[in-house]
Structures are given as structure tokens and as C-alpha cells.
Structure 1
Amino acid sequence: MGKRPTFNAPRPTLTQRHINVGRSSLSVGRSGSNPVNSYTHPLSSKQAAELRLLLDELGFQFASRPYTLYFAQKEKLSAAVYGKGPKLLLQGKGIEEFVQFELEPKILGEAKLGYEEVHSPEMFEPHFGVDESGKGDFFGPLVIAGVYVDRGIARNFMDAGIQDSKRIGSDARIHSLADVIRKTHGAIADSVVIGPERYNDLYEKFGNLNSLLGWGHARVIENLLARRPGCPRALSDKFADARVIQRSLLQRGREIKLDQRTKAESDLAVAAASIIAREAFINWLNARGKALCVKLGRGVSGSVKQTARDLVAKHGPAILRQVAKVHFRTAHEIAPESFAAPAPRTEWRR
């Protein structure tokens, strides 16, 4: 087992914080009177075996749980190690102390909790984060959003619990966090909402989703640069060749450094952008559904297809161009005489 590394800076005390740095994630805090405590971290097979011995030494009681290599609990703290990964999930009370004084020094051999700026310094440097919502949803717009952060803003976002919108199950929580982002001093947010009619026209013009995404990302970056000129870098999730965005940038954005990486939502600016984009997507669906007296669902589920059939029966096939992305195979399934079957997918090559 490794020794605990030391740093000159003292480890901060966490009172309310969500941390998602690298490959680990911690959420510690209170929502009203209900504590919310959870922590995940990938383990090697050796670390999983060492952790089992450590938990036994500490007096944890083991029990069987589905999909786990083992599950152990002591008082109000539980540890589940899942076979896929393996991955550790801690839940309950006392997580911070367990991570700092047991897991990190004795199993992981490195101190991460409280040292976010040591492990991910670029997350605290001035930059834009860009993300989208609605890409995989039949109904609704494609929304691309961007958020500017610096060190102080990133710290405020971390304390507020900003995280990838896909990990937030409540629309009310999305609205609450979006409000926090907009009210954070110094933060700048911008979004481009491409409604279905415009989306369908642009998709036919560009011929593929990656080019459309690149165009939308570029527009958001340009808008942010107009309000925060001189920002040196923009980060987004990796969805295609970065040159797609670069070619779409106008003169103002030609000098900015564009970074793309998988799982970019672990960056606080990108996570904030995902929340802003998701809120705009939710708002559009709710407003348009109310106008049509229907519930416009998300994704491409059976209920979404049934809603599409009902709309076509009432308004005719043309309604789909107003509320849905008609290059989806779903449009052809619902109204085959009006919408052609999509061409077979071709793999993108560099």
C-alpha cells in the first residue's frame, strides 16, 4: 500500500461540495435537512482486494449485493465494489474522513480530495466550456451553450454542486443550478437554440450532424468572445475533428485554442454549459408541448413515437418539421411517404 503524499497547501475542509476531478467523483453536502453523501472511484483488481482486507480490519460487516464483488457497512457508511471496473461506491456519513485517512493513503496512494487545483489545474484557468443538449432527442431543438469560468468562478461552481446535467435527474434541480450559474459573479453564459424547423434546414444544408454541431459550437464561442475577449481557450466534448469547429469560427475566434476531449463534462465550465443547454431544451419542450396540448417526451421511446403519430394524425406530416428532427429514422417510421429513410451511417475517418 502506498504512502500518503504531502503538499505544502493545507487540505481544505468541505462543507458543501461536489467534486468531479479526473476519474473520481465526490458529492458531500446537505440539501435542506437531508444529507447527500456519495463518492466513486475506479480501482484496480489489486486495490479492490486490498480494500476488502482494510474494510475487514476496520470492522465493516459484509453482505451480498447484486452486481458487486463485495458490499460492506459500518454504522452509517457503506462501501460497494462493483465488478465492472472495478469501481468503488461509498455512501452515507463519514465519507470525507474515510477517503482522507484510509482510502487515499492506504489504497490509492495519492491525495486527491481537497487538491483539485493540483490534479486538474487547467479546470481553474480562464476558459470557455461548451456543451449541447437535445442531440439524441427526436422532439425539440438542438441547444449549444457555453460558460466562461476562471479560478473564483470554478470554486463557486464546485461549492454549489455544478455537475454534468446527465447526472441530474430533476428538472427543478436543473433550473436551480442554471440560476446559480447566471448569478455567479463574473460567470458568463450564452446559448444558441436551434429550433426544429431551423435545425432541419441546417441539417439538409450541412449533410451531417458533426458539421451542424461544429457550426453551433463556433457560434457560441464567438458570442462568448464578444463578451469576454481575450479568453485563451475553449473546451468541449470530443464529437468529431476539431477542425470542424475551427473552420466555422469567424475572425473574432480564430486565435482561441480549441480543446476537445472525451468526458469533458468533468470540467466545471463544460458541466455548467451542459446545465444551461439542458434548461433551454426543457423550456422549449414544455412551451411547445403546452401550445400543442401534448407532452413532448425526450429520447426516442415508444411513447415519443406514439405522440408523433398522434400529432401527424391531427396536423398532418408537416408538423414533424416544426417539432422534431426529421432525419431521425423515427420520422420515416411515422410518415414514410413524407420522410425518406436515413442513409446508412458511415464511420467518420480522419
Structure 2
Amino acid sequence: MKLSGVELRRIRMPLVAPFRTSFGTQTVRETLLLRVESADGEGWGECVAMSDPLYSPEYVDGCADVLRRFLVPALTRRDRLDATLVAPALAPFKGHLMAKAALEMAVLDAELRERGVPFARELGAVHERVPCGVSVGIMDSVPELLDAVAGYLDAGYARIKLKIEPGWDVAPVRAVRERFGDDVLLQVDANTAYTLADARHLARLDPFDLLLIEQPLPEDDIRGHAELARQVRTPICLDESITSARSAADAIALGATSVVNVKPGRVGGYLEARRIHDVCVAHGVPVWCGGMLETGLGRAANVALAALPGFTLPGDTSASDRYYRTDITAPFTLADGHLAVPTGPGLGVEPLADALAEVTVDTEWVAA
């Protein structure tokens, strides 16, 4: 295909409830969507960068700028383009993995729509539905947390993930175990909030039989994670530290991780996410699909990825109503703790015109 241009669309969607992590509290999700056009059709992509550079160095305004000035022109200059050529074409521009991932996703969606191939089939999915976990933010009190967890378990979620930070870790985990028992699949996510000096404290989580501790230390502290893994029994899972298949292979070789959270936007796209999956499978390391409060567009792609054989743990591919009262696509609805993998061409979902218009705050056309 040859791109005729790319639409950058900013949307603003209120969350059903504040979502607090060690990075801060979100009440609104501001997202950058991409729509690529060619002579044969269109495709959609979603950039997972946040409004501020707190989770990663990328942020919405920065992504829009680098897409407008560098990334989109690098693709629209090409006479022939498919999704496998996106990463090589963008490689001269350092970093900006979330922006690159959104552009690759849109090109892949357009290509697969033209070929009549579902996202899941192209990636190598083997399941028709995937088990879903839910991420529970930091609360003002333990009783509030317990009420939230009870609601998610009643809804059928297969796994509970608790966000933690210093001062909110052992007590809430203990309370959830005491209230709901040992049969609940439970894990915690620190979002880089600790240091290796906290190893003894983090070891206090060992008695609670957690699936994993996700990203306890800063993303660049691979050696620290390897040392922490020797001091605690709970498996260490890396998230922010994993930016490519190579970084995953290195972390596994160093003993810094025994579980990997794959977030396509964080690693440059779904094709690199599949490579990370393949590396982990080759080393016997389980993977699961993380979430970034995606709309139905990004959720559709994540569910397709989570249907690959190596995704053996429930991911953060929760239902649409976990975060949004109204999604911009037909909502993803939980059934027996699972979400169905879309089967239509490309992403298998389309933005709903009225819903999309209601949350759109700005659009910009970047022509070839």
C-alpha cells in the first residue's frame, strides 16, 4: 500500500472512577488515535502514551509532534509499505516507541482489512477467548479496597492485581487474602516504586502466595532485579524494563525476571510484542498482556495478542466498563471471566461515529 496521509485525533474520556498508582492519579484518559488512509482503505492505531511523562518519557503532545514531523513523513514518502516495513523505516529515529507502535498498529490494521485477515490470525493466536484480570488502583482505605475487589470478583474477573507503593503494600495484600482466601489469583504491581534496599520489606509479601511482584525497582536496574529475585520467593515480573525482544532475553539470562508483562505500545508495536512472546516461550518464561487504559481499538488488538499460546496468565485485558461508561467501539463485555477474540478483518472493531465525535477534542491531517 501507499499512504495518502494520517489523521491524528485527540480524544478525552472520563474514567468511571479515579485510578491511582505510584505515578499519580488519573480521572481522565487523554489519548491520541491515528487513522491511516491509502487508496485501498484505512486503518486505526492507538497511542498509549499518557498526558504527562510519568510512566515513561513519552507523552501525548510529544508523540503528536514526532509523528507529525518525522514518523508519518518517513512512511508517506514510501511507494510501497506493509506492516513489516514500518519498524525498519522508523529505526533512524531513536526512541519514541509508543508513537511508533501506534503507527505500526494503524498500518497493520489497514493491511489486514484489505487482505480480509483478523489481527489474531496474523499474530498467531490459538484461542478464541482469553481470561481477564483486573488492575485495582491504590485506595484511600483498606475497606474501600476490599469493596472494590469484591465487586471485580463478583463480575467474574479471573485475577486481581493490586497497585502498591511504600506504605500501601503488605497490609492491603494481607487484607485481601484474609477476606477472599488463597484461591484467588493475586499479584501486585509496584510501578518502580521501590529500591533494592527494600528487599527485606518486599520479602514480607512471600507468605501470601502471589503470582508475582511486577516491576518493583526502577526500569534501568536489571542487576537490582536479579539480586532481588535471589532474596524473595515471589516471582519477579518485569514491565517497564522490557522494551524489546533483546531486553527480554537479557533480563531472562541475568535472572532478573521469571515472568514478563508484554505491553505492545511500550515495545514499539505488536510485531515486536510477538517476538518477545517467542523469546519467552523459548526460555519457558510465561507472559501476559498488560494494559494502558486502552479504548476498544487498543483493547481489540491486546485481546488478539493475548490469544497467543505463550500468554498463560490472565492479562490486564479487562472489559470496557472497567474504565469507561461509554467506549468508542462496541464494548468488550466479560463472560465467565473471559473476553472473546475479535474475528473480523484487521482489528475486528470499528469506532462508533457518534461516540468518537463526542470525546474528540482535536483532529489534524498529515498529508503525504
Instruction: Give the TM bin, normalised by the shorter chain.
Output: under 0.3
Could you say which structure has the higher helix fraction?
A: 1
TM-score relative to the length of structure 1: 0.25
Highest CA radius of gyration, 1 or 2? 1
TM-score relative to the length of structure 2: 0.25
